Amino acid sequence: AQSVSQHNHHVILSEAASLELGCNYSYGGTVNLFWYVQYPGQHLQLLLKYFSGDPLVKGIKGFEAEFIKSKFSFNLRKPSVQWSDTAEYFCAVKMDSNYQLIWGAGTKLIIKP
């Protein structure tokens, strides 16, 4: 079955640390890839997306993600996190076999000031 895995359910970092959140999917065809973020008390919002082209995509607030097709991965990165990055992060994948978005379980990120 098609699935999306986010390896870490909880991540705790100190401010200024580097961040990498993993996202892997199980599907060999064409994909559209998304990272969404939910800040405490706020709506889910799009952080960045990949449809085609340069596999390194940049999103809002200094986040970026790299699509590595051979590894079926779309990991989210940020060189230096801030306390305001505390949130839950969701990876989502659209596989060309259907129009449904498949969601990862989410990663809760806590940044210690």
State the residues that interact with other proteins by CB under 8 A. Answer: 32, 34, 36, 43-46, 49, 90, 94, 98-101, 103-106
Q: Which is nearer to other proteins, 49 or 77 (CB)?
A: 49
* Least separation in angstroms between CB 15 and other proteins: 26
Q: Which is nearer to other proteins, 50 or 75 (CB)?
A: 50
* Least separation in angstroms between CB 111 and other proteins: 20
Q: Which is nearer to other proteins, 43 or 113 (CB)?
A: 43
* Least separation in angstroms between CB 56 and other proteins: 19
On whether the CB atoms of residues 81 and 15 are closer than 8 A, the answer is yes
**CA dist., res. 93 & res. 111, Å (int):** 26
On whether the CB atoms of residues 37 and 44 are closer than 8 A, the answer is yes
Alpha helices by DSSP H, the chain: none
On whether the CB atoms of residues 103 and 92 are closer than 8 A, the answer is yes
